Structure formats: structure tokens, C-alpha cells
Amino acid sequence: MGGVTPAVWVAGLLAFSSPAPVQDARPALEEVVPRLSTPSRQLDHARRLKNARRGRSPEERERWSRKAVAAYRAVRVHYPWATRLGSEAAFRAGELLSAGGDPEEALAEFEVALALGAGTPFRARSRLAIGRLRRRAGDLGKSLEAFQGVIADPESSAQHRDEAWLWVGRVRRDMGRDEDARRAWSRVAEHARDPLDRIAAYDFLGTSWMDAGDLEAAAGVLDQCLRALAEVALERTNTGERVRSALGRTRLVRCLPERIKARLRSSPSKGSPRKD
């Protein structure tokens, strides 16, 4: 980029364009959720109830959410041997419960999804969800354990491992382990497959230096990010558009120039006369 500053470069770039045990749940579920002919149809029934929430009032939305959760739970109740579909159903129930402000019930569903999820992406996704809920509750040790479980699991996809590394960095930062956090983010910034994950990692890394007051290090990270993503950001493709948009949303791009200006304003001018 020659002598062009990171702020000018990016400006030009952006202008370019716990559930009850199964045996206890069965009678209640069988009263409200019919047993359909196959586990796939059972899951489809739950999806339809979830979709029925759209466009409704908050009260009606909550009522349909409860129906959908019961229907998702019914998949593993009516078809306990269909573990792959049961894992997805438990994960979807956990999502609804989490969004509805019931983290304990959500955690229980995600644990079920994890237990049933061998050979499916819902094993990694459940660990990620568990880690986020544990972090939100302030249980950083268990949160870190969940994210590290994604990384250690050979069944986890590369993208899920990259996402887990991003969260590992955030939890380590919460623990006051800034250097460990930066190592986690550097790993994603340098090696992740998804450019949006790389941008997120660079943003976490750079803002950690910015918040520590080391604006030179933060500017260096921004420059590294822009250089690393330049080729894909200049593409006239959907990916290129997404990358440009993601760069513009980073805290580093939005806040670093102002931090630098504030430092310059607070620094004594070189030409000012000395006051004894």
C-alpha cells in the first residue's frame, strides 16, 4: 500500500463499493404432540410450529414457541433411536429456550443435543452454544471447557473450530489472560478459511491493543488486516461485498482514527514554547 495510511486505504476500499427425564416427559408430550409416522415428519411438525411464530404478537409468539419446544422434544421421546434427528431437535429447542430467556432449560437441551450429536454438526454447535451461555452466566471455566471441546473434537468442522478459537480468545480476555487471548485470535486471523472469521479475529486482536493504550500496535494490526484481505475485498462478488461491509463494521476501523486524533490533541505541540 506504499505510503497510504490504513485509515485512508480502508476508506477507499469501502467506497469501492434442563428438561425432565424422557420417561417423565412422555405422558405430557403425548397429550400435546401427536406421534407422527416417521421421525422426519415429527421433526417437520416441530419446524412448522416454530415457523408459525412469525408475524405474531409477543404473547402469541411466546405461546407458539412453547408449542414448538414441546414438539422438538417429542422427536426424541417418540423416536429415541433416531439420534441424529433427536440431536437437531434438541438443539432447535435449546435455541428457542435461549431466545426466550430460559438459559437453564436451554443448557439442558444443548446437553442432550451434544450427547446425541455424534456424526452431526450439532455436536460442535451445541458445545458452542453451551460455551456462550456459560460465559454469559459468568462461569468462565466451563465456558472455556466447552469451546476447547469443539477444538479437540476431530468431528468438528474447520469453521466450527475457528469460531471456537474466537470464543476462546474472548473468554481468556475475560479471565485477564490478554496474551493468551491474542494468541488465540492470531491463530484465526492467520489461518481461518472464512474471511469474515479472519476479520473478526483481527478486530479482537487490534482492539485489545487499542484498549491497552498501544495505538501503534493496534494500527499495525489494522494494516496487517487490510493487506491480508485486500485481494478478496476488491472482488466484485458477493464475498467481496460481505468483506468490505465487515471491514467497515469493525471497531478497529470505526474507533482507532478517533483514538489517534484524541492522543494528538492531548499531546503538547512540538512548536509550543516551553513554560518554566
Q: What CATH topology corresponds to 18-156?
A: 1.25.40
List, for residues 141-180, the tens digit of each pLDDT value: 999 999 999 999 999 999 999 999 999 999 999 999 999 9
pLDDT over threshold 80, residue 12: no
Q: Are 230 and 219 in contact (CB under 8 A)?
A: no
Domain residue ranges of the chain, discontinuous segments joined by + = 18-156, 162-263
Directed axis angle between helix 238-249 and helix 215-233, to 10°?
170
What is the spatial distance between Cα 148 and Cα 276, in angstroms, rounded to a whole number? Answer: 58
- As separate numbers, helices (DSSP H) first and strands (DSSP E) second, the chain gives 14, 0
Is the alpha carbon torsion for 149, 161, 113, 140 positive or negative? Answer: positive
269: pLDDT confidence band, cut at 50, 70 and 90? low
CB-neighbour burial class of residue 57 (10 A; exposed 0-12, middle 13-18, buried 19+): exposed
- Asked whether the domain spanning 162-263 has the same topology as the one spanning 18-156, the reply is yes
pLDDT over threshold 70, residue 8: no
What is the spatial distance between Cα 74 and Cα 91, in angstroms, rounded to a whole number? Answer: 13
Q: Which residues contact 272 (CB under 8 A, 6 or more apart)?
A: none
List, for residues 179-236, the tens digit of each pLDDT value: 999 999 999 999 999 999 999 999 999 999 999 999 999 999 999 999 999 999 999 9
Q: Which residues contact 83 (CB under 8 A, 6 or more apart)?
A: 116, 117, 118
Other beta carbons within 10 angstroms of residue 5's beta carbon come to: 14
Rg of the chain in Å (alpha carbons): 24
For the chain, the first-to-last Cα distance in angstroms comes to 44
Residue 55: all three cell numbers together: 408475524
Q: What is the mean pLDDT of the chain?
A: 88
Q: What CATH topology corresponds to 162-263?
A: 1.25.40
* DSSP string covering 136-192: HTT-HHHHHHHHHHHHH-TTS-HHHHHHHHHHHHHHHHHTT-HHHHHHHHHHHHHH-
pLDDT over threshold 80, residue 21: no
List, for residues 50-69, the tens digit of each pLDDT value: 999 999 999 999 999 999 99
In the chain, the percentage of residues whose pLDDT exceeds 70 is 85
Report CA 210 to chain centroid distance, whole Å: 22
Q: Which residues contact 76 (CB under 8 A, 6 or more apart)?
A: 22, 82, 86, 89, 90, 112, 116
Q: Strand, helix or coil at 270?
A: coil
Average pLDDT for 2-13 = 45
33: pLDDT confidence band, cut at 50, 70 and 90? confident
Nearest CA to 17 out of 228, 231, 235 is that of 235
> Residue 30: what pLDDT?
45
In the chain, the percentage of residues whose pLDDT exceeds 90 is 83
List, for residues 236-256, the tens digit of each pLDDT value: 999 999 999 999 999 999 999
